[in-house]
Amino acid sequence: MNKARMIAVAAVVASAAAAMGAAHADELLVGVEIPLTGPLARVGMGTQEGIRVAAEVFNKTNGKHTIKLVTVDDESAPAKAVAAVEKLASQNVVAITGGYGSNNIAPAADAAGKLNLVYVSSGGVDDSLVNGGRKNFFRINNTAGYQKALVGLLGDLNVKSVSIIHSTKEATQGLATAVQKTLGGKGVKVEMHAFDPAITDFKPIINKVKLRDRSEFIVMVGYENDYVGILRAARVLKPSVKGIAGVWSLATPKMAADFPDLMPNVYGTAVLPYPVAFSTPDGKAFADGYRKLYNKEPDYLGQFGYVQSMLLFEAIARAADKGTLKKGGVAEEMRKTDRQTLIGRVQFNANGDNPNFTQRMGQHQGKGVALVWPKEAATAKPAYPGVPW
């Protein structure tokens, strides 16, 4: 009896150990390289919120695999982004999501590629990211989608002259130049004002817009800190413009809450209005998860972080099921992606770009963000002319 009991106990222990091993094998480590400090901290934290929600939703719905996030702050600096990727690789992550700013993403994606890790982002729109031969890099948005939205809004408003104030970083320089070329081809007068990313006083540029350009409209192509500086200078000098628009990281509820005096009537790219009601199961799962984790309404940064990460998690799970995680399976499964998401249909071409991406334009109206372009997606008419002062 004692011998039989010992055998039975050994069997139970062995079974438990096997179960624990299986459970451990099913926990898939995913790296998050993201700016949580430095000038891009606000957009990094917004994107990270969506990434975390994606992990929560995936873990509740997959039924077989679980995702564990390992996060490293890249401090908004290219060298720190590379170090973050290398640190994540040393912790045996199977892929990386995150990144913000094309100048940070490019070296980070290169480092990930050398380590055979897939890197997915929504924070870099410079076309060199997808034209540089990176085999493991994927993004869900691009310059073309933002350009179309900005040009489309200005066309609908019948704007005849524009001053474009843009950062000299690669992504912002590229988008500003593309918008300038397209508007010029439509007969719009365009004046360009480039600024160094380290600038803090925008009054000299705004003074040129006011006294020399005399444009109808200001377009800002930069990041959050840039928008705040430009808008503060404009509130002081009050150029005779009819409207002001920017691109990413602008038409968000957080910007409205943090800078209520600067945002009224300002336009920015937006996937959905705020507050928003989701109708699809995926959208409801995202919104419910977001509210539960953060006790607030989601914005587009969270939506982007959620979409890029959910697509990655699904690809990882498929590769794990096929036993190809360490054989390039994640990249292979990412290239097979083709499904509707919160930002529309997402596919990845041979360069890792999403050819279906098209942005929309929102406008800060009252305490919310209304979609005002394109007309078929609009939830309100543009308040035009309209500026924050």
pLDDT tens sequence across 268-283? 998 888 888 787 899 9
Host domain of residue 306: 10-142+278-347
Residue 239 located in a structural domain: yes
Does pLDDT of 19 surpass 70? no
Mean pLDDT, residues 155-176: 95
Q: Across the chain, what does the average pLDDT equal?
A: 92
Residues 254 and 190 in one domain: yes
Residue 253 located in a structural domain: yes
Residues 21 and 89 in one domain: yes
Does pLDDT of 7 surpass 80? no
pLDDT at 345: 92
Does pLDDT of 1 surpass 50? no
Residue written as token pair 């390289």 = 33
Does pLDDT of 171 surpass 90? no
pLDDT at 170: 85
Q: Per mean pLDDT, which range of 3-12, 22-31, 120-129 is the poorest?
A: 3-12
Residues 210 and 235 in one domain: yes
pLDDT at 2: 52
Does pLDDT of 21 surpass 80? no
pTM, to two decimals = 0.78
Residues 368 and 319 in one domain: no
Does pLDDT of 298 surpass 90? no
For residue 385, whether the previous peptide bond is cis, meaning omega lies within 30 degrees of 0, is yes
Burial status of residue 206 (CB atoms within 10 A of its CB: 0-12, 13-18, 19 or more): buried
Residues 52 and 121 in one domain: yes
Torsion of CA 265, 271, 273, 274, to 10 degrees: -90
Does pLDDT of 303 surpass 70? yes
Residues 260 and 312 in one domain: no
pLDDT at 114: 97
pLDDT at 26: 84
Query: How many domains are there within the chain?
Result: 2
Residue 383 located in a structural domain: no
Mean pLDDT, residues 121-149: 94
pLDDT at 204: 98
Residues 320 and 338 in one domain: yes
Residue 353 located in a structural domain: no
For residue 374, whether the previous peptide bond is cis, meaning omega lies within 30 degrees of 0, is yes
pLDDT at 192: 98
Residues 207 and 238 in one domain: yes
Residue 384 located in a structural domain: no
Does pLDDT of 23 surpass 80? no
Residues 368 and 224 in one domain: yes
Residues 135 and 161 in one domain: no
Residues 199 and 225 in one domain: yes
Residue 355 located in a structural domain: no
Single-letter residue type at 225: N
Mean pLDDT, residues 317-334: 97
Mean pLDDT, residues 311-332: 97
pLDDT at 181: 97
CATH of the domain at 305: 3.40.50.2300
Residues 47 and 101 in one domain: yes
pLDDT at 376: 86
Residue 4 located in a structural domain: no
CA separation for the pair 326, 41 (Å, rounded): 32
Mean pLDDT, residues 227-232: 98
Residue 354 located in a structural domain: no
Q: Residue 209: phi, psi to the nearest 5?
A: -60, -40
Mean pLDDT, residues 214-239: 97
